[in-house]
Amino acid sequence: MRIDVVSIFPDYFAPLQLSLVGKAISAGLLHVAVHDLRHWTHDRHHTVDDTPYGGGAGMVMKPEPWGEALDALLSSDDNPDDNRGDGGRDDTALDDTVLVVPTPSGHRFSQPIAQDLSQKSRLIFACGRYEGIDRRVIEHARTRVQVRELSLGDYVLNGGEVATLAMVEAIVRLIPGVIGNPESLSEESHSEGNEGLLEYPVYTKPPLWRGLEVPPVLFSGHHAQIASWRRQQALELTRRRRPDLLPRQD
């Protein structure tokens, strides 16, 4: 997979070189290129924002630098820093590319969405700031490539960088070969293998810590009993914290 990120704060993405995402890059499972939006500005101040039409507080990100940035990234497979913007790329090659726009007004990001995006060959993340990106950028992009406007939750961040980091990690760990033991993915919260429930409590050594014991069933060696206990714990935890995730009773 190839991931391109466009931001006015490219240094924000240094953590992508760490942990499992960094290992995936080193192993050749993932290519990440981070681009400074100001590279596509042409004035001495590298201006990326302006006042909103219709009035109101805040600033809006200008369409010109975003348009040129997306032209450049969508025009070439081989050179992530190509800024020709000449449309030299065959549009049929864009079928497996998704432009992801983090925004509090987007659809809520979820495990199924992460799973779907992990199967794409290329993702481009557009990190907005201020009051957001001029709407025409998104509308124009939809004529060229699939666009997903996604939100981490019902709150507002200062920009799309934090959301992009979270989404990239959630997506990349689902790429085959990134997680050492792929079976662990099936038991996680929100996974299909766990029926979409929250994950059950987990324990390790020592068996007694500060007066708190590990549940005896986990020492039983009886796999069916352990599986039953874990499912009941997952159901109870989900019932208390996220009842909306419980299977519907027809």
Tell me which H or E stretch contains 35: strand 31-36
Q: For strand 208-209 and strand 212-213, is the pairing parallel, antiparallel, or unpaired?
A: antiparallel
54's tokens: 């219709």
Measured CA angle at 145 (ends 86, 117), to 5 deg: 130
User: pLDDT under 70 in the chain at which residues?
Assistant: 76-93, 182-194, 249-250
For position 86, what pLDDT does the model report? Answer: 39
98: helix, coil or strand? strand
Distance CA 5, CA 161 (A): 9
Give alpha helix (H) positions in the chain: 19-26, 63-74, 111-117, 135-142, 161-172, 223-241
For position 168, what pLDDT does the model report? Answer: 98
For position 85, what pLDDT does the model report? Answer: 38
pTM for the complete prediction?
Answer: 0.87
For position 8, what pLDDT does the model report? Answer: 98
Distance CA 208, CA 94 (A): 56
Distance CA 250, CA 244 (A): 15
Name the DSSP class of 8: S
For position 196, what pLDDT does the model report? Answer: 85
- Looking at this protein, which amino acid is placed at residue 110? S
In tens, the pLDDT along 135-183 reads 999 999 999 999 999 999 999 999 999 999 999 999 999 999 998 776 6
Beta-strand (E) ranges in 62-200? 97-108, 122-126, 146-151
Assign residue 203 a region (left: φ > 0; alpha: ψ between -120 and 50; beta: otherwise): beta
How far from each other are the two terminal CA atoms of the chain, in whole angstroms?
Answer: 40
The answer to whether 247 and 235 have CB atoms below 8 angstroms apart is no
Name the DSSP class of 47: -
For position 95, what pLDDT does the model report? Answer: 87
Tokens 């590279």 locate to 39
In tens, the pLDDT along 183-196 reads 666 566 666 666 88
Assign residue 6 a region (left: φ > 0; alpha: ψ between -120 and 50; beta: otherwise): beta
Name the DSSP class of 108: E
Q: CA dihedral defined by 237, 239, 244, 250, rounded to 10 degrees?
A: 130
Distance CA 143, CA 152 (A): 25
For position 83, what pLDDT does the model report? Answer: 37
